[in-house]
Structure 1
Amino acid sequence: MTDEGSGTHRPGARKRDGWGGRGGLWAALAWSLGVLALLVALPLAARHRLPDPLATHWGGRDPDGSMSLTGAVLVPALLWLVLVLVSALLQRYYGERTPGCGAAALASGGVLLTGAQTAVVHANLDRARWQDAAPMGIEVVLVLLATAAAGVLAWLAGRRFGARAEALPAAGAPVLDVPEGEEFVWLSWATNPWLQLLAAVLGLVTVAGVLAAASGLAGLDWSLVLPFALPAVAVLVCSSVQARVTARGLTVGFGPFGRPARHWSPADLVSARVEQRTAAQAGGWGYRINGLGTTVMLRGGTCLVVRTRRGTDFAVSVDDAERGAALLNALIARAGQPTG
């Protein structure tokens, strides 16, 4: 039997949008607005230290083309708006067949344009004429490498939380009959849109500080950057969770790449069940430890709860928890463990 992990869409199944749910859509919107603000703000913040016109094109290492300050502000911004529209269309019409394509275009395009704008400002800073702009060299290589890395990472994240089908909950007995030797995969996830939005905002503040330093507008002060960078990573990891049941047991992965992850084999578990829990019961949002055990609470409602052989409970708030618990109980029974 095969559930969500196959990507097969069955009648009556609900599908997520190509951005990985409402949280991914809000994060994409925050990224789009943040990149637009950076493209406009970088040259305007340095306008008193830039020539007008300023160098915007280099033939080899030396500048051979220029543009007015107004053009240097508006042209990248307009290119970005067009790219945002193209990314949205890609995700709308091709996101189901190619999950992550729109996210990859949005991430790589944003990095490319902001990197190029930063390099242009840095090269023209404190120059009397655009012809005196600094030569381009390693900056181009670094921007291209960062662009490729951003595109690949966004594509991988998009494939994990992109347009997969959500299987309908199983009705009936809490233990499913899985024929011996038959392979199966159950896959489900949950996201918290507010945490994803917070991670995007913190990340943009971090990027703004790094780009300001790279352009020469300010020095790089790690005491100001790290308080935003570290929480951005921590919040991003805690903003989404993915639960996967295979013949090897249960794996719960965190963040857009499923790392870090926790794994339990069927021999590690005593039973699996479904419970209704709220954030108040769990002690708040995110990764919580209290009298109920460990709870990964990203949205209130149905949780998949497993009892380990150590006598502790681990709960994760994911969709279709009934089917996941039934499959786990079938695996536990096959391994000779009790299911109650």
Structure 2
Amino acid sequence: MTARMSTTRKLFIVLTMWLPAVALIVTRSLWIAELPAELPTHWGASGPADGASAAGPFFGWMLGISLAAAIVGTVMIVAPVRGKWVQRATAGVIGAVAFFPLAMWITSAAPSRGVTDPYTVELGAWFALLMLAPAYGLLPLVIYPKIDNPAIEVVADAEVEPVELEPGEVASWSRTIVSKMFVIMTILLTVLQAAIYIPVIMTEGISHLHWSVIVAVLVVLLVAAFCVYRVSVDWRGLRVTSGLFGFPIKRLSPAQIVKAEVAEINPGEWGGWGYRIAPGRSAIVLKQGPGFVVTQANGKLFAVTLERPEEPVSVMQGLLDASKRRGDGKGLGPNATSELGE
């Protein structure tokens, strides 16, 4: 059964959402005498700030965003109107949203203390504080009680017959699947980074690039890595690799697989879209709809959304049956191969 959330636990989760707003007020009260009338709010690819905003309105916006996130989060925790998994995930997101304005405020205000000209302030290591916002969002998730995994909706009318294999024969299946969302994100990030850094290179030269360009390139490459997936099923088990860079994302040997089923994949039950990891389950969710779910020997689940999931499930079931007949559960040798898929 799902653990019922106690009042004390609710209060702690709500507290994590209000702490950033409190920290905003406290830091402004402590620093107000040292801050200039304007605060730096934008930095180019290198050097000091190239944009500034009036300190009062900037603080007001940051506090308003943080307070709004805290209020929404409090309502969701005290009077939830959605399922437990959605509520849990949203609590984490709201925690990160509430912290982000605090990170922006400190990044701008902390290095500006005692400075009269905001355009002389350099970003420096304070930029790293903005990276902590997602980590802060983990606090509500840690405090939230452990909940049961929602049941998998197995497709009842999907009659899958295992591939029949003769002794010494195996089968293989493979397909390349593309995440349109991550492709669009990669293109947008590339265009954005180009718009930021190319003018600097053209006017000042590549030597003037800020160290943040390294972070920007790594972010683009990380997102691009999840644009294309190669899913394969053969005598080695189930393998998922990055279609662009080739590194493994998921590997399951036949000994690690208990069963494979055709199912309807609901992103909300797996933590959203993309490569998702949740307690007791992980998945590659590119859309809502058909896919297959693999139950592992340790009880964990792994799912992939794709068209015609009956094909890989049939091959997996056939390979598992053949492995059981062998009695070793270690997989099969590639003596003879029947290829399926694309």
Same fold (TM over 0.5): no
Please identify the structure whose Cα radius of gyration is greater.
2
TM-score calculated relative to the size of structure 2: 0.44
